[in-house]
Structure 1
Amino acid sequence: MSDNTLTIGQLARRTGVTVRTLRYYDKIDLLKPTDYKEGGHRLYSQKDLLRLQQIQSLKFIGFSLKEIVDVLDSHDIEGQQLIDSITFKKRELMAELEKIQQTIDQLDHMQTIISGYGKIDVTLFCFMIHSILFEEENLHEQSKVKDSIHNFRSTERAQLDKEYFSLFMDLKKLVANGVNPKSDEALAFIKQLAALSDKTLSMLGAEQIHLANQLDEPNILHPFTEEERAFLERAYADMSKDV
């Protein structure tokens, strides 16, 4: 065995390609080992190493394995083919970058909403995450508009969601503490929630409300227990009597 010969494990470590991938390349005749040692173990030459580096380079700009076989066998490639492949790869990466930035924006939004709390109700937090993801997926175009209520990157939307989150946390505390839905404390809470709801509706245009109502799939998660829902219904009913 030549001193310059590499085993499959050595070639894998040197190039960052997995042993499994190298075996697959051998199977499809993309990269055949120069020799085999006793027991059938693959041995790769420096020429094989060079070919693997070429394979990695062409994969990097988006060539399929079949295209790579054809290119390496012909030894030449049209310049326009390279430009087209590079352009396509760039578009793919830009789309991935946009998706990553969207996720970062969503995480920033969540962090803003929950900041300042020692303990947070898991059900409420999961509801918030699901709502954000659901809304951006179904109202994607509206979420890009700078002044849209659906734009999670706006300060106004962050403040609105933070107010809702704070009130929902308060509701859970009221119910947990056994507060009477007809009490002054409950009445003050329900008036705050109603005012916030009115504020939200005023920020939504008629077209946006209609669009939201037309969504095929509602957010099936709910942040409240049956007891909390009953508290809301009784508190709203009691407030309505006073109006």
Structure 2
Amino acid sequence: MYTIGEFSAKTGFSSRTLRFYEELGLLYPSKRNESGHRIYGLEELATLQRIQSLKFIGYSLQEIKELLDKEEITLESFADSLPIQRKVLVHKREEIDRAITAIDHVQELLDDNFPLDWTILTSLLHGMEFEEEQIAWMKEHFPDDFASHFTDIPKEERVKLDRDGYLYWLMSKD
């Protein structure tokens, strides 16, 4: 049996995190001693390891709570949730990849001493954020060969188009 401090040291989870997990209903101490201090045992250690494993594969704390609240977590019910969790993680990875591409794109413009202000930066990032939706819309509304003109533009050429398009816009403002 371990006090919260000992349990924290043994598991690497801070006392604050353990109290937070208790507040969420994820992990309760097995008992409290006569002073009211939380006491944890092997069962709580196993629960904490489950929480850590589920967090590692991307489950939110609310989803973990729902899994732990089930009377019995069967491997079958857990296995049923894995394809859904995989899709969530793939979607997150795609979002991260798009964000990295946007950062690289803006960095290339900055490396070329391109004059950026917040309006232009926001416009570029917004365009890149919704690029997939724009391409899907073009493929739906135009012939494939027309839409492919836009989807097959190499990255370097897109940076040049953004830079040249902005300069053209700047010159036409007067």
Equivalent position of 1:141 in the other structure:
133
- What is the identity, as a one-letter code, of the residue corresponding to 2:66? K
Equivalent position of 1:8 in the other structure:
4
Where does structure 1 lack aligned partners over 5 or more consecutive residues?
A: 168-192, 198-223, 234-243
Measure how far apart 1:82 and its partner are.
1.9
Equivalent position of 1:67 in the other structure:
67
Give CA-to-partner distance per residue, 1:138-176, whole Å, 9 cap, x none.
553335766317x886322211223355x4xxxxxxxxx
**Structure-2 separation of matches of 1:154 and 1:140:** 15
Measure how far apart 1:111 and its partner are.
1.3
- The 3 A distance-change label for structure 1 pair 13 and 51 is same
More helix by share: 2
Equivalent position of 1:156 in the other structure:
157
Q: Is the 8 A contact 2:3 2:40 kept in 1?
A: yes
Of residues 74, 78, 100 in structure 2, which corresponds to 1:77?
74
Give CA-to-partner distance per residue, 1:90-137, whole Å, 9 cap, x none.
1111000000000111111111112143xx75xx33223201222234
Q: Please, what TM-score do these two structures have when normalized by structure 1?
A: 0.52
- The 3 A distance-change label for structure 1 pair 7 and 143 is farther
- The 3 A distance-change label for structure 1 pair 158 and 152 is farther
Does the alignment pair 1:129 with 2:121?
A: yes
Q: Is the 8 A contact 1:6 1:43 kept in 2?
A: yes
**Structure-1 separation of matches of 2:5 and 2:24:** 19
Does the alignment pair 1:36 with 2:36?
A: no
Where does structure 2 lack aligned partners over 5 or more consecutive residues?
A: 137-146
Percentage of matched positions with identical amino acids = 30
RMSD of aligned residue pairs (Cα, Å): 3.4
Q: Is the 8 A contact 1:114 1:162 kept in 2?
A: no
Q: Is the 8 A contact 1:31 1:52 kept in 2?
A: yes
Of structures 1 and 2, the larger Rg is shown by: 1
Provide the secondary structure at the position in 2 that maps to 1:148. Answer: helix
**Structure-2 separation of matches of 1:115 and 1:137:** 21
Provide the secondary structure at the position in 2 that maps to 1:84. Answer: helix
**Structure-2 separation of matches of 1:107 and 1:29:** 39
- The 3 A distance-change label for structure 1 pair 142 and 163 is same
- What is the identity, as a one-letter code, of the residue corresponding to 1:155? E
Of residues 15, 19, 24 in structure 2, which corresponds to 1:19?
15
Provide the secondary structure at the position in 1 that maps to 2:38. Answer: strand
Q: Is the 8 A contact 1:36 1:43 kept in 2?
A: yes
